[in-house]
Amino acid sequence: MARILVLDDEDQIRRMMKRILEKEGHVVFVAKDGSEGVAVCEHSPVDLVITDILMPNKDGLETILAIRSNRRDVKIIAMSGGGRSMPSEGCLILASDLGADAVLLKPISKSDLLATIAQLLPYTDSPSNE
């Protein structure tokens, strides 16, 4: 079981990921932007952060930098579907360069999400084969 923080400005994505991860036995925190996410990291120990890149207030790239400046041990998965100003591949390359341990292109399948988590946190249970 891991403690996972999910950051995304889309409520539907936060709820879906929370449901999937809790079903796998993880403790899940959610935040709608990087500002909230960094605050959660400062007050609650987490093993993994899953962050969208394009968000209001503090985007995923700024969030990765902020988390990495204080917590080198936290694993980070960056995800993006891109936007008008930057294609998703560019966002994910930047995220990787700034310290993301893995990157996922939206839309993300449940199996890809769980497999990536299992690679980054090998001490957690293996993902279910649904």
Catalogue all structural domains in the chain, each as residue range(s) with its CATH number.
Answer: 3-120 (3.40.50.2300)
Q: What is the pTM of this model?
A: 0.91
**Model confidence at 128: pLDDT above 50:** no
**Model confidence at 52: pLDDT above 80:** yes
Radius of gyration of the chain (CA): 13
**Model confidence at 127: pLDDT above 60:** no
Burial of residue 54, with CB atoms counted within 10 A of its CB: 0-12 exposed, 13-18 middle, 19 or more buried: buried
The pair of three-digit structure tokens given for residue 28, joined into one six-digit string: 């899940």
Q: What's the pLDDT at 89?
A: 81
Which residues share a beta bridge with 29? 5
- The one-character DSSP state at 75 is E
What is the rounded average pLDDT of the residues 64-83? 91
CA geometry: angle 33, 39, 79, nearest 5 deg: 35
Predicted confidence (pLDDT) per residue in 81-119, tens digit: 866 566 678 889 999 999 999 999 999 999 999 999 999
The pair of three-digit structure tokens given for residue 36, joined into one six-digit string: 């909230």
Q: What's the pLDDT at 91?
A: 85
Q: What's the pLDDT at 58?
A: 93
**Number of neighbouring beta carbons within 10 Å of residue 17:** 21
What is the rounded average pLDDT of the residues 60-67? 96
pLDDT confidence band for 122 (50 / 70 / 90): confident
d(CA 73, CA 113) in angstroms, rounded, equals 20
